Chains A and B, each alone.
Chain A
Amino acid sequence: MTDERPDTPARPFSLDRRQFLLAALGGAGALALGACSSSDDSSRPGGGSASRPTLRLAHGALGFPSPFASNGGPGYNQMILLFDTLLWKDGTGELLPWLAKSHKVSEDKLTHTFELREGVKWSDGRPLTTDDVVFTFDYYAKNDPLSPPVIIQPPKGIAKVAKTGANTVEFTLDKPRITFAEQVAGAVPIIPKHVWESIRDLAGSLDPEVHLVGTGPYRLESYNDDGGPLLYTARDDYFLGAPYVKRIEMNNITDAFSGLLSGGSDVARGFGLRDDILAPFESNPEYGKITELGSFVTAQLYWNLGKGGALADPRFRQACVMAIDRKDLVTRLAAGKGQPGNPGFLGPQNPFRVPVRQYDFDVAGANALLDGAGYRMGSNGVRQTPDGKPLSFELRYDNADAVPLSELVIPALKRIGVEPRPKPALIGPELFGPKLFGGHEMAILPYPGPAPGGPNADPDVLREMFSSRGPAVSLTAANKYVNPTFDDLADKQLVTFDEAERRAIVTRMQQIIADDIPLIPLYYPESALVFRKRVLDQWYFTPGQFPTSEDNKQLFITGQKSGTKIR
């Protein structure tokens, strides 16, 4: 394999001047970074003699890439290139030994013992020790939860972390948790004790020389504030060997697909993409494409059950769902590439998903349901509750991405005598504040986390989204939904290690959610990722979408979809 430089590949169609200018503008920053690149490295200390590629990604910094200041999913991906976890997931979904070379679980599932690799070094040259691991979890536990969109939060349910040998660390849990390995050991970055032990201001620790000391496979060579370009270079002394991708350049390119065509980036991704966007890549063998249904950006319609009245009545919510043609949403808003939202919440590619009540598009049925529930149609076309209150609710949505969706959902609800009062808002406190603190009535929001993964994640996401025993404040969870049966099942699946038994529990949970419908995912657009094969050809969406999705460092380190062996 040869190093991919910004040469323009042959294409079966030509760009006109406008397209060329747009693409050239988008790629200019990345090309500028590329101009500073060193030549191919043909000597690999830890591996073979093949030269190693430079990878260019079409987005800039999302926050400062430390565990305490990186933003959201892509920000986590940028941070975890500098830090490591005890375990790490590859493209098959298997949790690989990472900083830990072995992981043992006691019979009662309460004790997890990790044996650390020897010879792992922090980027400042000091050795990684078991003290660092113990310190990391103590440190997270001592600190308050960080505000979203920082996704790494103090792990819950850990009673004690202790050093039990020169290279072994033992975690004792409050109670068994089936998600511990994936969501704690496989997600929480280990931080150096010698750097962080004296630091109290987590979010304000933004010195790249100090606060980005990690064991990760890359060093950050250039950081230019939030949103700016990032430049990573591989650590050839990495414990798995010199990473396959030698250099990673990240730069904001407004139109990633134009950037990919022009040679300014090597990957572009999007949701529900039009055919004309994909056509130039699908007809050119230089590019590859992978797709997935049901990743984390699914738009959802929320009702605030805490407001009472019709909002707390499942028949009302069921009627709303029946009034919305979710297949039509896929056709219009996802170019026909996707699936209607599932009232049972789990995504199309979630192995735990089971068929549940679907509420097909049926306006007459929805009207009949509301009639039967005592919501009489008023003379103004708005129904009223039996005690005379109009079914008129404020509907919040973001004033950019959700506008087309609102133009379809609002008329649909009006057809059954429900009056949504549009309240578009800028993404930020104006939009999210009422949802967080229960001030809204209805809302259309994307699914931005922080619940792990999304609809295709481990089914524990159902507990995160719908259990009334979860955090009181959540950007994504259903508001004030209380069903003790569901809550009991949610707690039980978390401690159930027998897969068949857990599957039965999760099936029942989905059925309850589909009947009660505390929120409805409106549609799942197909996620598509297009890439230049000559740079990396084994891209994948990480199964379960957690802790990362497509920018999995395992691929960058090994050049392959699975395992730790470097290509």
Chain B
Amino acid sequence: MTAPADPRLEAETPRPQRRPGPSVLRSPLMVVGLTVLGLLVFVAVFAPLLATHDPKVVTGAALERPSARHWLGTNDSGRDLFSQLVYGTRVSLLVGSVGPSLALLGAVMIGVLPALIGGRVDRLSNRFVVFLLALPGLPLLVLIGALVGQNQWAIIIVIATGGIAPNARILRAKALSLREAGFISAARGFGGGPFYVLRRHFVPGLGPLILVGFVTWASTAIALEAGLAFLGLGDPSGVSWGLMLERGLSQRSLYFSPMWTWWVLPPGIAITIAVMSFTFVGVALEPTFNPRWLRSS
């Protein structure tokens, strides 16, 4: 037996969340984004096979021009730039995956869970999120980066910290609307336990938003990593696109020589490509999952 339909409940029940159908996966942006991401993952995984040299070992003269031995020449100590570009993919993808994952985890902790608990806890955590949002983003990240020191994991933590508040706000709003939704009340009324409700309704309801948040913050994270490294907050003994940029651009009178074309341009292009690939995926997902798009449609 089914419960009679209540018009009020019907009106309050949000539109069922769409799932990414074949049309989303076939959109040109998604195809291009995923293809490029796949290529980047391939390069990152097989970096030891693709790189021509150890990127952390001096293998040539300083400031060599591109040649058959050093495809993108060498840096000022004699390290191979092509190999640094290849290994730099690992850092960007690591930062672009772990940073947003931690950010979303944090967003769930201070956005979703308090919303489900409700009451004072929710109010307090919401105030905290608003406080975080009011802080100036990039200067704060630079300050934290300078304080926590120069290593890759510190940068990841910094980037994750920056992503918590904006994602928490969106996820909290969605969690609040789900909590009050009629079908959730109905499910509870029919004896659905907390874990059942969480698994059947909250996870499918929040999951797509988390996915969009992840993708969006991944592109931001890659650009931020490069930016922080460029500002001298990266680990100078590491290998990343941002560090390549920073080191190349710090060469005295760089533009007296054409070396910027093989030292500065390639990591710049690589960062652009990586950021755009995540952005393409995010843009392709948005019409399906972003609440604003859903409302307007």
Chain B residues within 8 Å of A405, by CB: 77
Q: Across the two chains, which residue of chain A brings its CB closest to B251?
A: A274
A16: shortest Cβ distance to chain B, in Å?
8
Chain B 126-157, CB-CB to A under 8 Å as 1, else 0, gives: 00000000000000000000100010000000
Q: Does B174 contact A (CB under 8 A)?
A: no
A372: shortest Cβ distance to chain B, in Å?
29
Q: Does B57 contact A (CB under 8 A)?
A: yes
Q: Across the two chains, which residue of chain B brings its CB closest to A399?
A: B236
A258–B58 CA distance with the chains assembled, in angstroms: 30
Known: A331-B62, A399-B236, A403-B236. A408 touches B77 (CB 8 A): yes
Q: Does B61 contact A (CB under 8 A)?
A: yes
Q: Does B252 contact A (CB under 8 A)?
A: yes
Q: Does B78 contact A (CB under 8 A)?
A: yes
Q: Does B201 contact A (CB under 8 A)?
A: no
Structural contact, A332 and B77, CB atoms closer than 8 A? yes
Chain A residues within 8 Å of B237, by CB: 403, 406, 422, 424
A425–B233 CA distance with the chains assembled, in angstroms: 10
Chain A residues within 8 Å of B253, by CB: 255, 257-258, 270, 273-274, 276-277
B62-95 at interface with A (beta carbon < 8 Å): 62-63, 75-79
Known: A277-B252, A280-B256. A411 touches B232 (CB 8 A): no
Q: Does B235 contact A (CB under 8 A)?
A: yes
Q: Does A426 contact B (CB under 8 A)?
A: yes
Chain B residues within 8 Å of A411, by CB: 57-58
B248-293 at interface with A (beta carbon < 8 Å): 250, 252-253, 255-257
Q: Does B247 contact A (CB under 8 A)?
A: yes
B230: shortest Cβ distance to chain A, in Å?
12
A284: shortest Cβ distance to chain B, in Å?
14
Q: Across the two chains, which residue of chain A brings its CB closest to B258?
A: A276
Q: Across the two chains, which residue of chain A brings its CB closest to B76?
A: A404
A403–B236 CA distance with the chains assembled, in angstroms: 7
Which residue of the partner chain, among B61, B77, B252, B256, contacts A404 with CB atoms under 8 Å? B77
A124-142 at interface with B (beta carbon < 8 Å): none
A277–B257 CA distance with the chains assembled, in angstroms: 8
Known: A255-B252, A255-B253, A277-B252. A424 touches B235 (CB 8 A): yes
Chain B residues within 8 Å of A36, by CB: none
Structural contact, A407 and B62, CB atoms closer than 8 A? no
Structural contact, B76 and A332, CB atoms closer than 8 A? yes
A442: shortest Cβ distance to chain B, in Å?
15
Chain A residues within 8 Å of B247, by CB: 403
Structural contact, B62 and A399, CB atoms closer than 8 A? no
A274–B58 CA distance with the chains assembled, in angstroms: 20
Q: Does A35 contact B (CB under 8 A)?
A: no
Structural contact, A333 and B252, CB atoms closer than 8 A? no
Structural contact, B257 and A274, CB atoms closer than 8 A? yes
Chain A residues within 8 Å of B235, by CB: 424
Known: A424-B150, A426-B146. A19 touches B256 (CB 8 A): yes
Categorize the interface residue count of chain A. 20 to 34
Interface centre among B62, B150, B250, B256 (most CB of A within 10 A): B256
Interface centre among A22, A257, A276, A422 (most CB of B within 10 A): A276
Chain B residues within 8 Å of A276, by CB: 253, 256-257
Chain B residues within 8 Å of A279, by CB: 256
A403–B76 CA distance with the chains assembled, in angstroms: 10
Chain B residues within 8 Å of A408, by CB: 58, 77
Chain A residues within 8 Å of B256, by CB: 19, 257-258, 274, 276-277, 279-280
Task: Count chain B residues whose beta carbon lies closer than 8 angstroms to a beta carbon of A.
Answer: 23
Chain B residues within 8 Å of A332, by CB: 61-62, 76-78
Chain A 402-419, CB-CB to B under 8 Å as 1, else 0, gives: 011111100100000000
A280–B255 CA distance with the chains assembled, in angstroms: 13
Chain B residues within 8 Å of A258, by CB: 253, 255-256
How many residue pairs, one in A and one in B, have C-beta atoms under 8 Å apart?
Answer: 71
A525: shortest Cβ distance to chain B, in Å?
12
Q: Does A159 contact B (CB under 8 A)?
A: no
Known: A274-B63, A332-B76, A332-B78. A400 touches B250 (CB 8 A): yes
A424–B76 CA distance with the chains assembled, in angstroms: 18
Q: Does A200 contact B (CB under 8 A)?
A: no
Structural contact, B255 and A407, CB atoms closer than 8 A? no
A182: shortest Cβ distance to chain B, in Å?
32
Which residue of the partner chain, among A19, A257, A273, A333, contacts B76 with CB atoms under 8 Å? A333
Known: A22-B255, A255-B253, A407-B79. A426 touches B63 (CB 8 A): no
A22–B252 CA distance with the chains assembled, in angstroms: 12
A379-437 at interface with B (beta carbon < 8 Å): 399-400, 403-408, 411, 422, 424-426
A277–B235 CA distance with the chains assembled, in angstroms: 29
A393: shortest Cβ distance to chain B, in Å?
16
B37: shortest Cβ distance to chain A, in Å?
31
A19–B232 CA distance with the chains assembled, in angstroms: 24
Known: A274-B63, A333-B62, A404-B76. A426 touches B255 (CB 8 A): no
A313-332 at interface with B (beta carbon < 8 Å): 331-332
A405–B79 CA distance with the chains assembled, in angstroms: 12
B197-254 at interface with A (beta carbon < 8 Å): 232, 235-237, 247, 250, 252-253
A335: shortest Cβ distance to chain B, in Å?
8
B265: shortest Cβ distance to chain A, in Å?
12
A422–B236 CA distance with the chains assembled, in angstroms: 10
Chain A residues within 8 Å of B58, by CB: 407-408, 411
Which residue of the partner chain, among A18, A399, A406, A407, contacts B232 with CB atoms under 8 Å? A399
Chain A residues within 8 Å of B232, by CB: 399-400, 426
Chain B residues within 8 Å of A425, by CB: 150
B64: shortest Cβ distance to chain A, in Å?
11
B295: shortest Cβ distance to chain A, in Å?
45
B154: shortest Cβ distance to chain A, in Å?
13
A537–B235 CA distance with the chains assembled, in angstroms: 44
A306–B76 CA distance with the chains assembled, in angstroms: 34
Structural contact, B146 and A407, CB atoms closer than 8 A? no
Structural contact, B255 and A273, CB atoms closer than 8 A? no
A277–B252 CA distance with the chains assembled, in angstroms: 9
B159: shortest Cβ distance to chain A, in Å?
19
A244-270 at interface with B (beta carbon < 8 Å): 255, 257-258, 270
A287: shortest Cβ distance to chain B, in Å?
14
A118–B247 CA distance with the chains assembled, in angstroms: 56
A208: shortest Cβ distance to chain B, in Å?
31
Chain A residues within 8 Å of B236, by CB: 399-400, 403, 424
Interface centre among B78, B146, B252, B253 (most CB of A within 10 A): B253
A328: shortest Cβ distance to chain B, in Å?
9
Chain A residues within 8 Å of B77, by CB: 332-333, 404-405, 407-408
Structural contact, B255 and A19, CB atoms closer than 8 A? yes
A276–B255 CA distance with the chains assembled, in angstroms: 10
Chain B 119-131, CB-CB to A under 8 Å as 1, else 0, gives: 0000000000000
Interface centre among B61, B78, B79, B250 (most CB of A within 10 A): B78
Q: List 13 A-B contacts (CB under 8 A).
A: A257-B252, A277-B252, A277-B253, A277-B256, A331-B61, A332-B77, A403-B237, A403-B247, A406-B237, A408-B77, A424-B235, A424-B237, A426-B150
Interface residues of A (CB under 8 A from B): 18-19, 22, 255, 257-258, 270, 273-274, 276-277, 279-280, 331-333, 399-400, 403-408, 411, 422, 424-426
Given contacts A407-B77, A411-B57, 6 further A-B contacts (CB under 8 A): A257-B252, A274-B257, A399-B236, A403-B236, A406-B237, A407-B79
Interface residues of B (CB under 8 A from A): 57-58, 61-63, 75-79, 146, 150, 232, 235-237, 247, 250, 252-253, 255-257
Nearest first, the 5 A-B pairs at minimum CB distance are A332-B62, A404-B77, A407-B77, A276-B257, A277-B253
